[in-house]
């Protein structure tokens, strides 16, 4: 119980940054402005473009939340080391494992709350326009986005032990977009390459995080049927395992890191 209280105290301390920093508010007001702009369906002289507006809106809230998740997670450990506040933290006593877990949870909560705020505005826009929507699919899209933010937060926390904040932000975002856009090409390389290369590509394919698992945008926009329960459970388990491995690796590296 004491360990949990320490972890949640560290997470709460990280959460306070959401209130002090301007990142969230900038994205919030920007998104509100875009929503009011898109509310008029006839912009650019076009009619009947609600489907595309739903696509754009969901893509924007996902992108904004990803940036918030990665940027907050990337700066947690480096900022503590740079300001030298990490020494009194570790002397409380708080173990390095507690610190990693607390910083991860804080970043995850921050991005999750930001996405929730964006998503509520997005839903308000959909319902205000009288758009058709499936409640189960909306809930699944929300859950999958939360899973994604947790995974990216864990990856950024791990990378923060090796990179500067700017480098971490760049590498994590590039990793996300590269896998999201080119994962299909990697699958083709596995099938078309010689045996040795095929094994190498296969290992890379299974080691890299599968961000495409969390993409419900097309399904949401085109009102496809909700995903089966076994798919949701499988993605949740996959996410939990990958996050656990990233946090375990971060804790192992941080224990050996000279401060």
SS (H, E, C) 62-119: HHHHHHHHHHHHHHHHHHHHHCCCHHHHHCCCCCHHHHHHHHHHHHHHHHHHHHHHHH
Q: Helix 23-39 vs helix 50-82: angle between axes, to the nearest 10 degrees?
A: 170
pTM equals: 0.84
Q: Give 75-106 pLDDT, tens digit per residue.
A: 888 877 777 777 676 666 777 888 888 889 88
Residue at token pair 């990693």: 100
Question: Residue 80: CB partners within 8 Å, gap ≥ 6?
Answer: 86, 89, 99
Domain extent for 172: 2-256
Q: In angstroms, rounded to a whole number, what is the distance separating the alpha carbons of residues 74 and 173? A: 11
The tally of domains found in the chain comes to 1
Q: Tens digit of pLDDT per residue, the chain (259 long)? A: 555 565 555 555 666 665 566 665 666 666 666 666 655 555 444 444 566 677 778 888 888 889 888 988 888 888 777 777 776 766 667 778 888 888 898 889 888 988 998 898 888 877 777 666 788 999 999 999 999 999 999 999 999 998 888 899 999 999 898 888 877 776 776 667 676 777 776 777 778 888 988 988 888 878 888 899 999 999 999 999 999 999 999 999 988 877 6
According to the 3-state scheme, what is the secondary structure of 106-174?
HHHHHHHHHHHHHHHHHHHHHHHCCCCCCHHHHHHHHHHHHHHHHHHHHHHHHHCCCCCHHHHHHHHHH
Residue 74: name the closest of 155, 194, 176 by CA. 155
Q: Alpha carbon of 46 to those of 42, 49, 55, 237: distances in Å?
A: 5, 7, 16, 43
Q: In angstroms, rounded to a whole number, what is the distance separating the alpha carbons of residues 104 and 109? A: 9
């Amino acid at each position: 119980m004491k360990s949990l209280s320490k972890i949640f105290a560290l997470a709460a301390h990280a959460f306070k940054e959401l209130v002090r920093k301007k990142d969230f508010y900038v994205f919030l007001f920007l998104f509100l402005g875009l929503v009011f702009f898109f509310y008029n369906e006839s912009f650019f002289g076009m009619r009947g473009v609600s489907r595309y507006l739903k696509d754009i809106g969901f893509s924007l809230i996902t992108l904004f939340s990803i940036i918030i998740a990665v940027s907050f997670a990337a700066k947690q450990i480096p900022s503590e080391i740079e300001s030298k506040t990490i020494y009194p933290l570790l002397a409380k006593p708080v173990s390095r494992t507690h610190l990693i877990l607390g910083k991860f949870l804080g970043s995850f909560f921050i991005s999750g709350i930001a996405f929730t705020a964006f998503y509520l505005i997005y839903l308000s826009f959909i319902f205000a326009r009288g758009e058709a929507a499936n409640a189960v699919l909306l809930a699944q899209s929300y859950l999958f986005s939360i899973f994604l933010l947790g995974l990216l937060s864990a990856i950024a926390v791990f990378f923060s032990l090796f990179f500067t904040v700017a480098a971490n932000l760049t590498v994590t975002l590039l990793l996300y977009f590269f896998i999201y856009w080119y994962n299909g090409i990697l699958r083709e390389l596995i099938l078309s390459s010689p045996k040795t290369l095929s094994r190498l590509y296969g290992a890379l394919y299974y080691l890299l995080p599968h961000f495409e698992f969390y993409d419900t945008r097309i399904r949401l926009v085109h009102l496809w049927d909700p995903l089966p329960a076994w798919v949701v459970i499988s993605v949740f388990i996959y996410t939990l395992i990958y996050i656990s491995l990233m946090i375990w690796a971060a804790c192992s590296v941080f224990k050996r890191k000279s401060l």
